């Protein structure tokens, strides 16, 4: 068995449809036997794949689905994510704290934050704070 090709085939499958860890392990028993990976090691590998999205399931929070690519196959708009955070908090947010309030896995720099805020139609920078333009 060519383990590397099997892992690549699994990655390709995850790009087309989400699968839970349980589904992956049951669908590829020889691969996991050959690798001798525990479920924890498999989760670690999955979490380190580029563009991996982890979707928790309400009925089984300990068995999330994994898929490659963004959830809606469209890039997440950073400006929209920032506007959502500010709207949910209901108050201006310091730019320095904004990064920690974005969705998990969002990696941004300060210049990226500023550019997204300045180009977004409902966001404004006032001093060190980000606020909604209509608030």
Higher-confidence residue: 75 or 86? 86
pTM comes to 0.49
Strands 65-68 and 129-132: unpaired
Can you tell me whether residue 109 is helix, strand or coil? coil
CA angle 54, 59, 61 (to 5 degrees): 40
Return the pLDDT at 76: 65
User: Which pLDDT does position 70 carry in this prediction?
Assistant: 52
**Residue 71 pLDDT greater than 50, yes or no:** no
């Amino acid at each position: 068995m060519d383990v590397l090709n099997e892992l690549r085939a699994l990655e390709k499958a995850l790009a087309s449809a989400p699968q839970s860890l349980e589904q992956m392990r049951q669908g590829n028993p020889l691969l996991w036997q050959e690798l001798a990976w525990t479920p924890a090691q498999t989760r670690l590998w999955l979490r380190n794949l580029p563009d991996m999205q982890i979707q928790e399931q309400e009925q089984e929070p300990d068995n999330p689905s994994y898929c490659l690519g963004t959830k809606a196959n469209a890039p997440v708009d950073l400006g929209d994510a920032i506007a959502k955070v500010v709207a949910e908090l209901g108050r201006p947010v310091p730019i320095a704290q904004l990064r920690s309030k974005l969705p998990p896995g969002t990696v941004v720099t300060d210049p990226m934050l500023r550019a997204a805020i300045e180009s977004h139609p409902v966001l404004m920078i006032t001093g060190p704070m980000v606020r909604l333009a209509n608030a």
